[in-house]
Amino acid sequence: MKETGAGIDGYTAERLKGIGVRGLDIAGMGGTSFSAVEMYRASMIGDDSLAEMGNTFFDWGIPAPAALAECRASRLPLIASGGILDGTHVAAAVSMGAEAAGVAHAVLREATESADAVKKKLMLFREELQAAMMLTGSANIKQLAKARHFVAGETREWIEGLKWTQKSI
């Protein structure tokens, strides 16, 4: 199951697992906002009411790292997306429980240039991921998945807030 830019909380992840979902792309806030896409689309066709609704929900959702931390307890395979901008973000996502990461915005400019530009950008991601693995003493992705990580600032506040408000399942 793929979210579309607003993230998934732990309660929802457990409910999705209960109906047979076998994996999640958490698609947290911080990447492409489909509310924003709809806002711009509505503006282009002159639908002021729908454009205003898109504006209202422009930044609605759970940031990707907080959604990832929330969904980890579901023990479903997780894909982290939503604001993954470089290889260090991929490394952080893996250390927080993701099995893979998805990117869109990070290669959008390159995609308007050429396939080779996209390939070059993704190779940079790989090099950054390898550097992060070396810096954490991780010889492979399995070791990176077990690497210690520290969450600070606003992301930590999100994670703590979600735990505090989580419903009983």
Which is higher by pLDDT, 169 or 45? 45
Please tell me the distance from the alpha carbon of residue 69 to that of residue 80, in angstroms, as a whole number: 10
Contact status, residue 5 vs residue 35, Cβ threshold 8 Å: yes
Confidence class for position 169, pLDDT limits 50, 70, 90: very low
Please tell me the distance from the alpha carbon of residue 167 to that of residue 169, in angstroms, as a whole number: 6
- Residues composing the chain: 169
Write the CB contacts of 51 (distance below 8 Å, at least 6 apart in sequence): 39, 40, 42, 43
The domain 10-165: what is its CATH number? 3.20.20.70
Which is higher by pLDDT, 103 or 34? 103
Residue 167 has pLDDT above 80, yes or no: no
The pTM (predicted TM-score) of the whole model is 0.85
Please tell me the distance from the alpha carbon of residue 58 to that of residue 39, in angstroms, as a whole number: 8
Side-chain-side CA neighbours of 147 within 13 Å: the count stands at: 24
Reported as a single tens digit per residue, the pLDDT across 72-122 is: 999 999 999 999 999 999 999 999 999 999 998 899 999 999 999 999 999
Reported as a single tens digit per residue, the pLDDT across 139-154 is: 999 999 999 888 888 8
DSSP, collapsed to helix, strand or coil, labels residue 146 as coil
- Number of continuous H segments (helices) and E segments (strands) in the chain: 9, 3
Which is higher by pLDDT, 2 or 164? 2
Q: Which of 15, 19, 9, 30 is nearest to 101 (CA)?
A: 30
